[in-house]
Each structure stands twice: as C-alpha cells, then as structure tokens.
Amino acid sequence: MYPVITISREFGSGGHSIGEKVAKELNIPFYDGEIVNRVAIESGYAKELIEEQGEHTNVSDKWFSISSASTMYFQSPQDEIFLAQRNVILDCAAKGPCVIVGRCSDYILKNEDIPAIHVLIHADMPHRIKRVSERYGEIEDISVKKRIQKKDKQRRTYYRYYTDQHWGDYENYDLALDSGTLGENICVACICETVKHYAMEQEGK
C-alpha cells in the first residue's frame, strides 16, 4: 500500500501542481481545497479566512499577537483553525494513501503510526518569478518577487510557530526536489518511483 505523501512547497515552486499529478498517477486522493472546506465545517470559520490563516502568519496581524500571547486557557482563532486543520489532516491520512499539500502536514504526521513520505518542493527565485507571473499574470518582476518573499515569510513564521521547527530544514523531509532545475515532470516521476519502491519494501516486510 502506498504511504501518505505530504508536500511542503515554496510559493511559486509548483508544489501544488506536482502533488496533484502525483495523486493522479498513483490514483489516490489529493487534499488541498477539501481540507479548507472540512475545516470550515469543523471550526465554524469562513473558508476565505481559513485559506488566509491556515498556513500563513502575518506577524503584524492582531491574530498572531493573540496567538503568541495565548495560554493553555485561551485559544486564538488562528489556534482554533490550526487544531481543526490538524484533526482534518489526521482524519484524511487515517483513511489511507493520499497526497496532502502544506499546512504543517509533515509535522502533524511525523510521530503518527501512519506510513508517510514527506516531500519538499523548492526552486530558485527566477523560476518562481516566471511561474507566478505566468499563473497570475503579473508583469513586473520586482512586485512578483516581493509577493513571493512575503508568502514565504508568512509560511515560515506560521510553520515555526506551530511546529517549533525551521521550515525548509532538510532533516524534516525524506525527499527534497528542486522543481526549477529538474522541472515538474521529473519531480512527479521521482516522487512516484520513490513511493512505489517504498510500498514494495513495506509489503515485503
């Protein structure tokens, strides 16, 4: 049986698209938007808010200030979203092999008794600028670069706050791939091959 595959990604590296293709190739569920829907039901917060706050932290945000100051007796809305998201991710993973994108899913599944492979997709700035510009139609490289840097910072801060780990430390991933140099298709092939071999070894045990 295939393991659960978590995909952490730098903004603009194509990690979402790679995850989607891996899920399709392996014929297993792909969770990204669905997690948002289910967290909305579980937490009662609006989908737009979960999308915004579910893996990003703006340090100047009043919610983050509330989170930072929170005690065991008090949970900020961001904490509540994190916990609801954690439950949904654990539930998805417990159902069987799947691909889960972002949302600290690598950390959440790390010590669970669920076979999992944790993947990081990264790329250098020129490749990411090109990809983001193509996708969102922005023209100026400088503004795209600023947007990428801001998103990265928000994700890093969020990850750091909720996992106490540094986002992007290679020790946290079984597999880290440069989608800029390798390209999306090679990343997909590489992940699928690793997962297939992993499943074969697990079955042989």
Give the tokens for residue 79: 């904490």
Question: Distance (Å, rounded) from C-alpha 104 to C-alpha 32?
Answer: 12
CA atoms within 13 A on the CB side of 61: 17
Q: Tokens 């539930």 sit at which residue?
A: 91
Widest CA span of the chain, in angstroms? 54
166 lines the binding site for a copy of itself (CB under 8 A): no
Binding to a copy of itself by CB under 8 A, coded x per residue (else -) over 125-154, reads ------------------------------
Residue from 124, 134, 138, 140 touching a copy of itself (CB under 8 A): that is: 124
* Terminal Cα-to-Cα distance of the chain (whole angstroms): 12
Output DSSP code: residue 155. Answer: H
Question: Distance (Å, rounded) from C-alpha 184 to C-alpha 17?
Answer: 8
CB of 189 to a copy of itself, least distance (A): 5
**Angle between the 184-204 and 15-26 helix axes, to the nearest 10 degrees?**
50
203 lines the binding site for a copy of itself (CB under 8 A): no
114 lines the binding site for a copy of itself (CB under 8 A): no
Contact region with a copy of itself (CB under 8 A), list: 26-34, 90-98, 156-164, 194-202:
194-202
Residue from 113, 201, 203, 205 touching a copy of itself (CB under 8 A): that is: 201
202 lines the binding site for a copy of itself (CB under 8 A): no
Under the rule (CB under 8 A), what is the footprint of a copy of itself? 117, 120, 122, 124, 168, 170-171, 173-178, 181-183, 185-186, 189-190, 193-194, 197-198, 201
